[in-house]
Structure formats: C-alpha cells, structure tokens
C-alpha cells in the first residue's frame, strides 16, 4: 500500500514539475517572494476597501468647516483620479525601473520598494489625525506609493524565473502568482476589521506589515544566480555573466508587443474589480461596507484557482496562448452573467468567483509565467538578464490601460449606470482576444516549422536551457556544487 501511494505521489509530482530537482532553497525562495508580494498587494488594496469611509470623511460638513469636497460625486471623481494616478506612476516606474532587478541585487531592490512604499501608505492614512486635509497631499503620497511599488513585481518574477525552469514554470508560477490575490484577500480582511476603528488604522496596519516584511527580504532572501556564477568563474574563464539587454531590445522579443497590448485591455478589467468591487457592492446592493469588503474576496479566490489550473495545463502544451484565449472567451459570458446578478449574496459570490476565474486567472498567468517565458526567449538564450525588463514592459503597458480605465469608470457609471460599465468590460475582454489572435494563428501555422520559435523559453523538444540552468549544469560538472536544478531539457 505504501509503495502504491509513493508511486502515485511520484507520478503527480512528475506531472507537475517534470524531472526538476528542488532543494530547500527553492522552497525558501518561493515562500519569501510569495509572502512579500502578498504584503505589497495587501497594502495596495487598502484604498479600495475604505472608499466609502473616505467619501464620508471628505464630504462631512457637520463640524461647520468647509469639507474637502462639496459632494459625493466630486469625492468619487478624486478617488478615481487617485487610482489612475497610482497606476500611471506605477506604469512609469515599471518602464523606467523594470531593469533594476536585472542590474542590481534583486533582494535589495525589492526591500527598498517595500520600505519606501510602506512609508507613503502610512503617511496617507495618518492625515486623518491632522486638522490639515489637502488633495495635493493625498495625490502626492499615493503617486509616490505607485512609483515605489513598481519595482516589486518585475524583481519578484525575475527571481522566480531564474530559480525555476520552464518545465514546471506554468505550475509553479501559476501557484506563485496567486500571491497577488492572496494579498488582496489579506488586505481586504485586515481593512474590513480595522475600518470600524477608523480608516487610518487600515492604512497603518498594512503599512507596518509591509515595512517589517522588507527586513526578511533584505537579510534572508538567498540569491542563487550570483553564488553559482561565482562558483563557475572559479572553474572556468570561458563563462562571463551576460549584460542586461536594453529596454528597446526587450520590446522586439517575439510576443512582447502582442502580450503587452493584450494585458493593457485585460488589466483594465482586472484592476477595475480590484479598485471598485467593494464600492460597487456597497452602493449598488446597499450591503454594509465590512460585508462588501469580505464578499469581494471571492473574485480573488476564483483567480487563484484559475492561475493554478491554467498554469499546470499550459506546461503540457507547446504554447500558453490557446489556454489563455479559451479562458478569455468564457470571461465575456461570466461578465454578462455577473452584470445581471440578483440581490442575493450566495449567487453573487458564485458569479463573482466565476468571473475571477476567467479574468483573474489569465491576468496572473500573463504577468508571471508568460512574462518569464518571453524573458527567456531564444533570441537572448544564455542571458537571464531580461526577465525583469520584459516583466516591467508587460506589466507597465497593462498599468497604462488600467489607469485609463479607472478615470473612465466613475464617469461612465454616473452617465449610464453600472450595467454600461460591465458591457464596457466585455468589449475590453474581446479586445484582449483580438490582440492575441494573430499570435495564436502564427503559432498554429508554424507548428510544423522546425525553425519556428515558440513563446516557451525552452521548447520541450530542444536541448538548451536558460542561462541559470546552463550555468548550474556547468558548475555541477566541474565542481559538484551542492545546489542546483536539473531540467529534462538541460545538457548533461
């Protein structure tokens, strides 16, 4: 019986990760990066969960003093501006700073982003304790937060992409990319329980968690590529650490433009749920703010499940594009169903999770596994120094689209209602499919062409690994390094 169980477990593990050998360091890397970005997203989620409280605070004139905004619509417009400005700064930071993780110690870059963004989040919330209220102050701190948080995701994907090979990248990155959704859930739960004390405590709680998490990253995150590179250099003088590619070279890699444009449309919808879902549930259905915050977590739960399922499935295809398009097509139907959801918590939660499955899942997969694949394209084979840059380009372009969407949503809702907003989401999902359709057609047309380069960095029929994989194998052959990952595509 024990032998049967072991064989079944071995079969499942082989299905998920292939022939890769993992060490304790891989689990440490996975856990630390997962938790750190979950903390980043938890802090980012704070503003969206306390919007009703902020609107009340900013329009209250019971004290006889002039309120910050004359009415609810003006306050909603300013919150939309904050969302758009945050994403604009975030996109700018991704474009400009996406290369930081390829050029400097990623642990230090990540810790710096966590520390500085936590300070801005704390400063945003504590203004409640001051008699001084200024839209300029709120805008400046939140824009700075977006700029500082922009270094986190490209750096995290770069670290993960260099530690885990392609054969398990969909499964691993699919599960790992759930860190954003887990962070959303954590941030929502923290805010829903602290907002009753005052919205400033929601900002303070998430900011403090993010700040202290930065110390764990700075002091405890191991860096595999640097250590292995040093070991290889001590054995052979023929191996040199590759230089990071330029920003414009990264744009010209196969699939980068198509996926960047597609992610701009997709992230507009995904982040609209991120920023506005609790507010929508509170205003449209009249549910309590704390109840709306907790219910919104079902969207992220659906995204978590989808990212894992789609990631595992895509590892067994020559390209991830067909699975993504399949899910995106179904997302349009789920959006239509959710737009017509009845005033019933159980049914609303189910449709919300279904919508999160078909929208949040592809968004997580594109921003993680697909970005890592593109950053290890054959054109730069032998250089792992493009992962952070490519991730910054895709996520940055997505943030531009998301930022534009946040500015339009309150205006569309005010003129036409929430139903029109959801129909707009359906149009954007259709646009996402259109952006990826030529790529899918090209992949299908050239499937039998042996010279065709798939989006995967290491084709299942090839023999070349990523830079870190080849370095690892070279080092093992020469000096028997204790830490490595061997891929079934790696040369022996």
> In the chain, where are the structural domains located?
12-479
**Class for the domain spanning 12-479:** mainly alpha
Mean pLDDT of the chain: 79
pLDDT of 235 strictly over 80: no
Q: What is the pTM of this model?
A: 0.73
How far is Cα of residue 241 from the mean position of the Cα atoms in its chain?
Answer: 28
What DSSP character marks residue 246?
P
Opening angle at CA 180, ends 178 and 181, nearest 5: 65
Residue 138: CB partners within 8 Å, gap ≥ 6? 78, 82, 124, 127
Contact 300, 352 (CB under 8 A): no
pLDDT digits (tens, 9 = 90+) for 250-263: 787 888 899 999 99
Angle, helices 297-314 vs 169-176, to 10°: value is: 170
Contact 377, 244 (CB under 8 A): no
pLDDT at position 266? 95
C-beta atoms surrounding 69 within 10 Å: 19
pLDDT digits (tens, 9 = 90+) for 357-385: 999 989 988 988 787 778 766 655 545 45
Q: Which two tokens stand for residue 257?
A: 């433009």
What DSSP character marks residue 99?
T
Tokens 């062409």, residue?
Answer: 449
What CA–CA distances, in Å, run from 151 to 33, 104, 113?
A: 13, 12, 6
Tokens 């904050």, residue?
Answer: 82
pLDDT at position 464? 33
Arithmetic mean of pLDDT, 437-455: 70
């Amino acid at each position: 019986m024990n032998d049967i169980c072991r064989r079944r477990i071995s079969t499942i593990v082989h299905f998920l990760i292939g022939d890769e050998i993992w060490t304790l360091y891989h689990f440490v890397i996975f856990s630390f990066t997962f938790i750190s970005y979950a903390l980043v997203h938890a802090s980012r989620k704070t503003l969206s969960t306390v919007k009703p409280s902020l609107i009340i605070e900013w329009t209250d004139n019971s004290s006889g003093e002039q309120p910050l905004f004359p009415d609810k619509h003006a306050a909603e417009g300013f919150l939309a501006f904050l969302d758009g400005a945050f994403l604009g700064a975030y996109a700018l930071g991704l474009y400009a700073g996406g290369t930081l993780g390829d050029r400097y110690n990623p642990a230090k870059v990540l810790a710096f982003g966590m520390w500085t963004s936590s300070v801005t989040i704390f400063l945003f919330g504590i203004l409640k304790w001051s008699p001084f209220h200024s839209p300029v102050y709120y805008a400046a701190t939140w824009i700075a937060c977006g700029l500082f948080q922009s270094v986190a995701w490209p750096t995290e994907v770069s670290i993960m992409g260099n530690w885990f090979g392609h054969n398990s990248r969909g499964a691993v990155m699919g599960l790992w990319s759930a860190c954003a959704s887990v962070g959303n859930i954590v941030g929502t739960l923290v805010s829903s329980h602290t907002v009753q004390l005052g919205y400033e405590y929601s900002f303070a709680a998430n900011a403090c968690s993010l700040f202290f998490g930065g110390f764990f990253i700075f002091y405890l995150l191991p860096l595999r590529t640097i250590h292995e590179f040093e070991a290889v250099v001590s054995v052979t003088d023929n191996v040199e650490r590759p230089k990071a590619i330029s920003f414009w070279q990264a744009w010209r890699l196969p699939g980068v433009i198509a996926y960047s444009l597609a992610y701009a449309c997709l992230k507009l919808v995904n982040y609209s749920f991120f920023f506005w879902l609790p507010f929508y549930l509170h205003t449209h259905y009249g549910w309590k703010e704390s109840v709306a915050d907790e219910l919104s977590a079902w969207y992220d739960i659906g995204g978590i499940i989808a990212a894992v399922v789609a990631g595992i499935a895509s590892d067994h295809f020559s390209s991830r594009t067909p699975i993504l398009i399949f899910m995106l097509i179904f997302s349009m139907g789920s959006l239509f169903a959710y737009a017509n959801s009845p005033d019933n918590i159980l049914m609303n939660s189910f449709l919300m999770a279904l919508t999160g499955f078909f929208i949040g899942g592809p968004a997580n997969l594109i921003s993680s596994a697909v970005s890592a694949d593109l950053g290890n394209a054959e054109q730069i084979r032998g250089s792992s120094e493009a992962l952070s840059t490519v991730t910054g380009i895709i996520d940055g372009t997505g943030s531009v689209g998301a930022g534009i969407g946040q500015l339009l949503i309150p205006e569309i809702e005010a003129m036409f209602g929430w139903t029109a907003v959801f129909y707009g989401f359906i149009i954007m999902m259709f646009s996402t499919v259109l952006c990826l359709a030529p790529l899918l057609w090209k992949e299908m047309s050239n499937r039998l062409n042996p010279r065709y380069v798939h989006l995967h960095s290491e084709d299942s029929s090839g023999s070349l690994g990523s830079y870190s994989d080849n370095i690892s194998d070279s080092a093992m052959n020469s000096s028997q390094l204790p830490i490595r990952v061997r891929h079934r595509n790696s040369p022996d």
